[in-house]
Every structure is written in C-alpha cells, then in structure tokens.
Structure 1
Amino acid sequence: MELLDAIHTRRSIRKYLDKPVPEEMLGILLKAAMSAPSAGNQQPWHFIVIRDRTKLDSIPSFHPYSKMVLQAPAAIVVCGDPDGKKWPTFWDQDASAATQNILLAARDLGLGTVWVGIYPEKDRMDGFRKLLGIPENIIPFSLVPVGWPDGTFEAVNRFRPELIHNESWGAK
C-alpha cells in the first residue's frame, strides 16, 4: 500500500471480527511505533500489549469510551516516561507520533484500530495503572485496540482549505 493511500483510508475502526491478530503483525506495529520521531531522539515510550480477554473486558469499567475493546482480540497501551529525559515536556508529542505510526502500520496490514485517549484523564490513567501494574512515574497515554475490521476502509475527503493560513493568521 502506498503511504498516502494508508493516510487517506485510515479510519477509526470500532467493530472487529472474531479472529486473532498474529504475533508477527503486533511486532510490526511496535516496530513502527518505535520508528516515530521523538524530541532529541529520546524515545520516552513504553508499550504494553494486551491479549488477555479478562483484562480487555475490564477496561470499559474505568474508561467510558473504550467499549470497542470488548470485540478486539488485542490492544496496545502507549505509555510515556519523561523521567531523566533531556526534553521531558515533549513526551506526549512523542507518544502521539508513536500512536499515529501504529495506526498507519495497522492500516497497511489491513488491520483496524482506533485511538482511544487515556492521558490526561486521571481516572483513566489510574485504571490502567491498576489493571496493568504500571509504575507511578510512567504515564498511560493512549489505548489502541487492534483487530481485523468488520467492514471496509474508504477514503473520505477531509481537506478544508478554509483552515489554511499563508504567512499569517487570516491570510488565504
């Protein structure tokens, strides 16, 4: 798949087929995540892969917008670790880039994903810390359910020229 095709046909997939995701594919997603840019190449991320059905099924009890994980055969939690980094205030941008790389790599493989925000909501972060034993200094950032989509990917034109400003605000 061409990169622009992946970008333009990537969609938030919330319904999955009852079919496991091969370990090799999850490895490809994680490798893509770790290829994301990061401030000063500090790579302040950690990833938790969840396949355990009991853990996946418990997530909606503390995250109200994660019900799609009930169908997903796997999920990846992207976490940030700003401690001791030269640029500690940029960890969330780095984690965002890693999350986006997961979404695009999954699209390339024909997998469905959706970005489910965790940070900065304290109750969500606490829920993931408790469920997955995440230390206090590590920040749960995003949840990415992963599975085979129950549906198709279609390009949608989201380009809005009125949101573009040239040289200064308001210039078209």
Structure 2
Amino acid sequence: MNVHDAIESRRAVRLFSDTPVPKDIVEQILASGRRSQSSKNSQPWQFIVVRDKDRLKALSKLGDFAGHVAGADFAVCLVGTKQTQWNSFDLGQAAAYLQLSAHELGIGSCIAAMYDEAAAKAVLNIPAEMNFFCVISFGYPAPEHTPAKLGGRKSLDDVLRWEQW
C-alpha cells in the first residue's frame, strides 16, 4: 500500500477482534512512530505499550470518547517531555505515523484524549515532569466492525489558497 492509498483509506476502528497482534508487528508499528520527524530532531516522545486489560479498561474511563480503548488488543500512550510550543505538533506526527503503519499491516486504530491527565499518569506511573499527550487503541478490526463512510471531508477547493489569502 502506498502512502496516498493509506491516507485515503484509513478509518477509525473502535471495535476490535480478540485476535492478538504479534509482538513483532507491535514493534514494527512502534518503529514507524519512532521515525517521525520532530522540531530540531528533539524526539520528545516516549511510547508506553499497554496490553493489560485492567489498565486498558482504566484508561478507557478517562476520556468521554475513549471507550474503545477497553476492547483493544493493545494501546500506545504517547508521553512527552517538558512542554514546548512544538511538542504537541511533534507528538501528533508520531501518532499519525503509528496509525498509518498499523493500517498498512491490517491493524485498526483510534486515537483518544485523556481528559484527566493526572489520573492517566497515575494508571501508568508516569513521572510528574512528563506530559500525557494521547492514547491510541490498536487491534485487528472485529468482523462486525463497520468502517465509516468515505468522504466527510471538505473539498480541496474549500481549504486551499495559492500564494496568499
């Protein structure tokens, strides 16, 4: 699958099968996230892989739209170093790389925000000086999963300007 096809076809998956994702596939996905670009090559991220069902369930309760995390085979929590003006951008790029890599391998994913950062950090024993950015659930899509319809995006003409506003 080329990058354009991956971007065009990737959809959020919130319902996962019970089939475990092999560790080497998980590591391949993580290696892609690690290769993301960052401001001044700062690489401000740490990835915490969560497979423990109790921890996944605890995390799923910390965001209004994070219920899918409980049913995932694994989740990746993105944690950043001291907050700078670029960290959110850099971690967002790492999240996109993780999700696109997973999609290429037939693994579904969905990103979620943790509205109670302190509680999320407590679940994972994250040091106080680190910032919790987001959690991404991963797993093979369940057979009954219905992907979102294609579309729903503004046209290129609606978002594009050439040279100036």
Number of residue pairs the alignment of both structures matches: 161
* Correspondence for 1:15: 15
CA gap of 1:152–1:5, structure 2 versus 1, over 3 A, is farther
Instruction: Write out the 4+ residue segments of structure 1 that deviate beyond 4 Å after TM superposition.
Output: 152-155
Contact 1:9 1:155 (C-alpha < 8 Å) held by counterparts: no
Contact 1:82 1:89 (C-alpha < 8 Å) held by counterparts: no
TM-score, reference length from structure 1: 0.87
Contact 1:8 1:155 (C-alpha < 8 Å) held by counterparts: no
Give 2:163's match in structure 1, choosing from 125, 146, 167.
167
Question: What displacement does 1:73 show?
Answer: 1.1
**Higher deviation after alignment, 150-159 or 129-138:** 150-159
Question: What displacement does 1:45 show?
Answer: 0.5
* Correspondence for 1:108: 104
Q: Percent identity?
A: 28
Question: What displacement does 1:59 show?
Answer: 1.6
Please state if 1:143 is matched with 2:138: no
* Correspondence for 2:122: 130
- CA RMSD in angstroms comes to 1.7
AA in 1 matched with 2:86: F
**Residue deviations 1:112-151 (CA, integer Å, cap 9, x gap):** 0011123xx4x2x112111000011111101000000123
AA in 2 matched with 1:9: S
* Correspondence for 2:32: 32
Contact 2:63 2:112 (C-alpha < 8 Å) held by counterparts: no
AA in 2 matched with 1:16: F
Question: What displacement does 1:162 show?
Answer: 1.6
**Residue deviations 1:38-97 (CA, integer Å, cap 9, x gap):** 0000101001000001111112332221101121111000111137xxxx3211111000
TM-score, reference length from structure 2: 0.90
Matches of 1:24 and 1:153 in 2, distance apart?
A: 26
Contact 1:17 1:148 (C-alpha < 8 Å) held by counterparts: yes
* Correspondence for 2:50: 50
CA gap of 1:36–1:108, structure 2 versus 1, over 3 A, is same
* Correspondence for 1:156: 150
Contact 1:129 1:135 (C-alpha < 8 Å) held by counterparts: yes
Question: What displacement does 1:166 show?
Answer: 1.7
Matches of 1:4 and 1:153 in 2, distance apart?
A: 18
Structure 2: runs of 5 or more not aligned? none
AA in 2 matched with 1:100: A
Q: Which structure 2 residues correspond to residues 50-129 of structure 1 after superposition, within 5 A?
A: 50-82=50-82, 88-118=84-114, 121=115, 123=116, 125-129=117-121
